[in-house]
Amino acid sequence: MNDRTMPSLFSLEGKNAAIVGGGSGIGEAVALGCAEQGAYVRCLDLNLDGADATAATIRDMGGQADAAHVDVVDGPAVSEAFQSIADDRGSLDVVVCTPAINVRKPLLDYTDDEIDRVLGVNLKGNAHVLQSAGRIMRDQGSGSIILFSSIRSLVVEPGQSMYAATKAGIVQMVRAAAAELGPSGVRVNAVAPGVIDTPLTAPIKDIPDWYQAYGDRNIFKRWAAAREMAGPTCFLASDAASYVTGTVLFADGGWTAIDGRFTPPGM
């Protein structure tokens, strides 16, 4: 049992965090949240300009951060990015992976290229993150890895087949990695958001009825801001979650509790 006081349990002071997808959306919000809790943050993103901007914001508010380019589909590049943090900082304590892509269309209309793209980023990319971070953390005997699943791991709708499959797959990878890495002191968990205002969901705003329907189908009757995912993620990263592993934290405004559903236009 951890004997630290309750406020300090939530602190990330002295921890070194890698936020994959830190250049925008949920990843940006999580990077800022980890920095506010005292962590050194390296923002990793396919969009280096976005990652640089997030790191600059953290430094402007008095935190420690820098940025680097990474493509989660490139396994060796992911390993190199994480090892660089461990070498530079002496440890890799927290890794969060947020990137995902979605091709919204009926299953029967998917092309092989579209299937490869969604599975490649959402499953293969997260597998690379788990492998690379897991090896470093296993050897150092500690660490917290947090992947991003979704409400779509449980509930689906027309047009979400490949995306939903990958988000369910992430849950099972998290559980397996938690079982395998737990004896080495490494925790692995997932956050499952509901409807969040991010670049990934921006096209939905162009269809007001669709956007409103999603907001209406959760308990709070609204979309979440990306910032609202920082708290659940920072909790899982912190010592306050020292006995939490292999689990999925649903941050969905109660969507899955009431089984919210809407059929998008054209589906």
Question: Would residue 114 count as lying in a domain?
Answer: yes
Question: Would residue 138 count as lying in a domain?
Answer: yes
DSSP-based three-state secondary structure for 246? coil
List all residues 6 or more positions away from 179 whose beta carbon is below 8 Å from its beta carbon.
246
| The pLDDT of residue 259 | 77
pLDDT tops 50 at residue 220: yes
| The pLDDT of residue 84 | 98
209-215 CB contacts, 8 Å cutoff, 24+ apart:
209/265, 210/262, 210/264, 210/265, 213/262, 214/260, 214/262
Binned at pLDDT 50, 70 and 90, residue 205 comes out as confident
What confidence tens digit (pLDDT) does each residue in 4-41 have? 776 789 999 999 999 999 999 999 999 999 999 999 99
| The pLDDT of residue 201 | 82
Task: Output the average pLDDT for the chain.
Answer: 94
> What residues act catalytically?
163
Percent of the chain at pLDDT above 90? 87
Residues 230-247: what's their mean pLDDT?
Answer: 98
Question: Would residue 94 count as lying in a domain?
Answer: yes
Nearest residue to 134 (alpha-carbon basis) of 185, 77, 171: 185
The total of structural domains in the chain comes to 1
Domain that holds residue 93: 11-250
Q: How far apart are CA 139 and CA 73, in angstroms?
A: 24
| The pLDDT of residue 262 | 62
Nearest residue to 96 (alpha-carbon basis) of 142, 29, 151: 29
Question: Would residue 255 count as lying in a domain?
Answer: no
What confidence tens digit (pLDDT) does each residue in 65-95 have? 999 999 999 999 999 999 999 999 999 999 9
Residues 203-209: what's their mean pLDDT?
Answer: 87
| The pLDDT of residue 90 | 97
pLDDT tops 70 at residue 2: no
Question: Would residue 267 count as lying in a domain?
Answer: no
Residues 188-212: what's their mean pLDDT?
Answer: 90
Sign of CA dihedral 224, 240, 172, 22: positive
Question: Would residue 2 count as lying in a domain?
Answer: no
Residues 61-68: what's their mean pLDDT?
Answer: 98
Query: How far apart are the two ends of the chain, measured CA to CA in Å?
Result: 51
Question: Would residue 167 count as lying in a domain?
Answer: yes
22 close to 31: Cβ distance less than 8 angstroms: yes
Structure tokens at 116: 């490869």
Q: Indicate the residue type of 64.
A: Q
What confidence tens digit (pLDDT) does each residue in 144-189 have? 999 999 999 999 989 999 999 999 999 999 999 999 999 999 999 9
Q: What CATH number corresponds to the domain at position 226?
A: 3.40.50.720
| The pLDDT of residue 1 | 46
| The pLDDT of residue 115 | 98
244/7: higher pLDDT: 244
